[in-house]
Amino acid sequence: MLRSVHLKSLAVAVTVVLAACGGADAPADEATATAEAPASAPMAEEMAEGALMNPNTVTEEQLMALPGMSAELVAGLMAARPFENMLEVDEVLATALDEAAREELYGHVFLPLDLNNATDVEMKLIPGVGDRMAYEFDEYRPYDAIERFRREMSKYVDEEEVARLEKYVVIH
């Protein structure tokens, strides 16, 4: 797996360098036009409803409409797919975005974490999850159903926050 991550990192670096040097497939004016394109209606609806987009299936157009995204960063994400976990996504995004910008972005695009296998580091990628909440996620493992997650987390946060957190997790 480490080799896979390193190869993906290399692919991202090459893509970013090519894009920066004008060697990308699309002409610069086309890349600029894509960067300035407004969010499509479905994209705006998804963002308004708080639905999370999967980084393995999100389109270039959808990524460009997200906060902090550039044509180079979008190209890097597309080149690094498929992602096995959020740590791989975070590694690509960390090349251009600081922690606060990535946290904002993860409010829109996120690869759901398996509650029974996610590490503390992965859980802390969920916006608003710190040491304490990561500990609570871990304390109640194994989860056999999402209802158990709802019940246990509702001891610490309100129903609205439980519903928000639930968007970031799955149970396998």
The tens digit of pLDDT for each residue in 148-167 reads 999 999 999 999 999 999 99
φ/ψ of 126, rounded to 5, equals -65, 125
142 versus 36: which is more confidently predicted? 142
| Alpha-carbon distances of 94 from 42, 56, 138, 142, rounded to whole Å | 27, 17, 25, 31
Rounded to two decimals, the pTM is: 0.72
- Domain residue limits, the chain: 2-105, 113-170
C-alpha–C-alpha distance, residues 81 and 79, integer Å: 6
**Helix extents (H) in 21-85:** 28-36, 41-49, 60-64, 71-80
Quick check: 9 pLDDT over 90? Answer: no
Lowest-confidence region among 47-56, 95-104, 149-158: 47-56
Q: Is residue 119 very low, low, confident or very high in pLDDT (cuts 50, 70, 90)?
A: very high
Q: Which amino acid is at 19?
A: A
